[in-house]
Amino acid sequence: MNNPLAKTVLITGATSGIGKATATLFAKRGYNVIITGRRLEKLEALKQKFKKKYAVKARALCFDIRDKDATKKAWNSLEPHLQKIDILINNAGLAKGFAPIHKGKLEDWEQMIDTNIKGLLYITRLVSPKMVKAKKGHIINICSTAGHGVYLNGNVYSATKFAVDALTQSMRLDLHKHGIRVGQISPGHVEETEFAKVRFSGDEKKAAIYNDFNPLTSRDVADIIFFMTTRKSHVNIQDLLVMGTQQASASIIDRSGRK
Ligand code: NDP
Ligand code: 8X3
Q: Tell me whether residue 2 is in a domain.
A: no
* Annotated active-site residue in 31, 122, 151, 157: 157
Q: Tell me whether residue 81 is in a domain.
A: yes
Residues with CB under 6 A from ligand 1: 13-19, 37-39, 64-66, 91-94, 115, 142, 144, 187, 189-190, 193-195, 198, 218
Closest approach atom of ligand 2 to CA 195: 1
Number of domains in the chain: 1
User: What is the per-residue pLDDT for 5?
Assistant: 81
Q: Tell me whether residue 173 is in a domain.
A: yes
- Residues 127 and 74 sit within 8 Å (Cβ to Cβ): no
CA of 64 to the centre of ligand 2 (A): 22
Question: Catalytic: 157?
Answer: yes
Enclosing domain of residue 80: 8-242
User: Which residue from 115, 116, 127, 117 is spatially nearest to 88, judged by alpha carbons?
Assistant: 127
Is the Cβ atom of 144 under 6 angstroms away from ligand 2? yes
CATH of the domain at 72: 3.40.50.720
Q: Tell me whether residue 97 is in a domain.
A: yes
Q: Tell me whether residue 251 is in a domain.
A: no
User: What is the per-residue pLDDT for 47?
Assistant: 98
Residue nearest to atom 39 of ligand 1 (CA): 190
Q: Tell me whether residue 235 is in a domain.
A: yes
User: What is the per-residue pLDDT for 1?
Assistant: 59
The CA distances from residue 199 to 7, 94, 123, 207, 233, in Å, are 34, 7, 23, 8, 37
* pLDDT by 10s per residue, the chain, length 259: 578 789 999 999 999 999 999 999 999 999 999 999 999 999 999 999 999 999 999 999 999 999 999 999 999 999 999 999 999 999 999 999 999 999 999 999 999 999 999 999 999 999 999 999 999 999 999 999 999 999 999 999 999 999 999 999 999 999 999 999 999 999 999 999 999 999 999 999 999 999 999 999 999 999 999 999 999 999 999 999 999 999 999 999 999 999 8
Q: Tell me whether residue 248 is in a domain.
A: no
